[in-house]
Structures are given as C-alpha cells and as structure tokens.
Chains A and B, each alone.
Chain A
C-alpha cells in the first residue's frame, strides 16, 4: 500500500515539474540586453569589415546564438520609426560603402538628446545580419545606448 503511495507521489511530482519547466520555457523572457555583459566589444568599422570580408563567418560569429554586441560608432542619422522605436544609423566606415542600423525602443529616447550627426556613440544590442539594397547594411536590434 505504502509503495503505491510513493509511486503516486513520484508521478505527481514529475508531472508538476514538467508543467513548471514547460511554463518557464513558454514564458521565458527575452534576453535583457541592458543587464547582460557584452560578449563582443568592437568598433563599427570592425563589425562592418567582418561582414564585408566573409559574410558567412561573420554571421556565425555575430548572429548565431545571439551574442550581446557592443559597438562604438559615429552617428549619421537618427530616425523615429512609425511605431515606438527609433533607428540610429552609424557610418564610421569611411572606406566601405555601407552603414549599421541600430533599433532602439522608447525607453532609450531620453538619452537621444545628447546625440546628433557626427557624435560618437556606444550601442549594445543583438546583430541580425547583413542585408543589401544600394549598399551593405548591418542590422542591430534590441539596442540600448551605453552611457559612459
């Protein structure tokens, strides 16, 4: 009789753990970029060069596994988007024909006042790769502005 109780208890416990793990996975939040330490720190021109030299290798290094990337670049443009985000375009890549676009959300808007065309900026975020229309463009998402 007692044995059955233990078995039953075991089954119930296993069931509860399964559900807990399932729920945890299901509601798993996005990586908190502002609190995560950067996995890679580099200059905008270095990031650009990596994609220009070998896109496959660069994708493996900067995109796969979503590492947190911190980039130092020069602001070229700041555009407010149609929803609650803005895009900062970095163009510290004189020898290359291209740019890096970094999307920030509303929470970063208060920091924007300090920046304009030509000011250096440090941005932390995730890279989603490179795309090309008239020029090569590296895309960074979920960005935050790092204050010194």
Chain B
C-alpha cells in the first residue's frame, strides 16, 4: 500500500515536471509596431525582433525588446527616436510583464480564436505603467499566435516632445503587438 502511494506520488511529480516543460511557448521574432498619424506626419515604426514567453498554465506573458530595433521610414526619425525621445543608450530595453486575466476562457487544446483580457506592466524609458488590453489568441495545433492593440501617450513614460514638433506626433500613439509562439525546445 505504502509503495503504491509512493509510486503514485513519484508519477505525479514526474508528470508535473514534464508538463511544465511544455507549458512555455516562445518567440524571438515578435512584431511590435507603433503608429502615430497627424495631418503633418505619419510615423510607422516596426520591431521584428521582440522576444516573448507565454506560459499557458499560469497565463504569464513576458515581452522584451530593444528600442534600437525599431525601424522607421526615415533615418532622421529613427535618430530622433533613439537619441532625443527614448534615450536608447540610457534605456536600451522596453518590456511588458503581465498575464492573461481570464485564462480559463482559452482552451489551449482546442484550435480556435479566443478573445481575452491581458493586464500587466509596460516599462519604457525607465518608467512603469499599468496597462490592460483586449488580446486575441489563436490556437493552431502546437502553435499559438497572440495579438493586441492599445494606446499610450509620451507623457506616460516621461518623454517630453518639444513644442516645435508637437503637431507632428499624435497625442495618442497606437501600439500593436503580434506574437507567433512555438513550444520551447528541450
């Protein structure tokens, strides 16, 4: 009897360990874009190198990216973004740390599209901000893709826009993120 209990405990422990190994999904090529549109200027910056981990058991989502990986149409915009606004040499990274708040509404075993809420902390320019946003998760076999869209303001992150260019940068910047996750190897 005792050995049976012991055996089942061992089996449970092993299965938990094994499950945990498959809980995590990763991408190194996440797409994060921010967009600003005013009559004076359109700004469309894209980062295809964002890294992200999704844990489907806890619902945790982590995203990190390098500000210098944002690509702009114009070289001068990119220079201003890195040197004047984001101060990329001082604050090279931006990140998001959060979770899916209604994790139960996604069945990761069943293919389909699910709309959920995510919440967490966005860290940009050395400053943190709480954000909540709707996100769409699509489960397709072993692949999971996630996308979300929300708005931020430069003031949220202590980024001062000089009055000379105030009309060229929208008050609200639109941020979109698209992640195509795959199960972590090993």
When the two chains form their complex, are residues B76 and A87 in contact, meaning their CB atoms are under 8 A apart?
A: no
Residue from the list B31, B62, B74, B89 in contact with A81, Cβ < 8 A: B31
User: Could you say which of B46, B66, B178 has the most chain A C-beta atoms within 10 Å of its C-beta?
Assistant: B66
Assess whether A142 is interfacial by the CB under 8 Å rule: yes
CB 8 Å contact bits of A96-131 with B (1 = contact, 0 = none): 000101010000000000000000000000001111
Assess whether A132 is interfacial by the CB under 8 Å rule: yes
Assess whether A141 is interfacial by the CB under 8 Å rule: yes
Residue from the list A30, A63, A83 in contact with B46, Cβ < 8 A: A83
Interface residues of B in 1-59 (CB under 8 A from A): 26, 28-29, 31, 46, 48-49, 51-53
Contacts of B184 in A (CB 8 A): 134
Residue from the list A26, A30, A59, A133 in contact with B51, Cβ < 8 A: A133
Interface residues of B in 91-126 (CB under 8 A from A): 92-93
Q: A87-B29, A101-B28, A141-B49 are in contact. Are A128 and B93 (CB under 8 A)?
A: no
| Contact residues of B: prevailing secondary structure | strand
When the two chains form their complex, are residues A26 and B76 in contact, meaning their CB atoms are under 8 A apart?
A: yes
User: Min CB distance, B122 to chain A, in Å?
Assistant: 16
When the two chains form their complex, are residues B92 and A59 in contact, meaning their CB atoms are under 8 A apart?
A: yes
Contacts of A61 in B (CB 8 A): none
When the two chains form their complex, are residues B64 and A128 in contact, meaning their CB atoms are under 8 A apart?
A: no
CB 8 Å contact bits of B168-186 with A (1 = contact, 0 = none): 0000000000101000100
Closest 3 A-B residue pairs measured CB to CB? Answer: A128-B68, A128-B69, A133-B51
Residues of A within 8 A of B (CB): 25-31, 59, 63-64, 79, 81-83, 85, 87, 89, 99, 101, 103, 128-134, 137, 139, 141-142
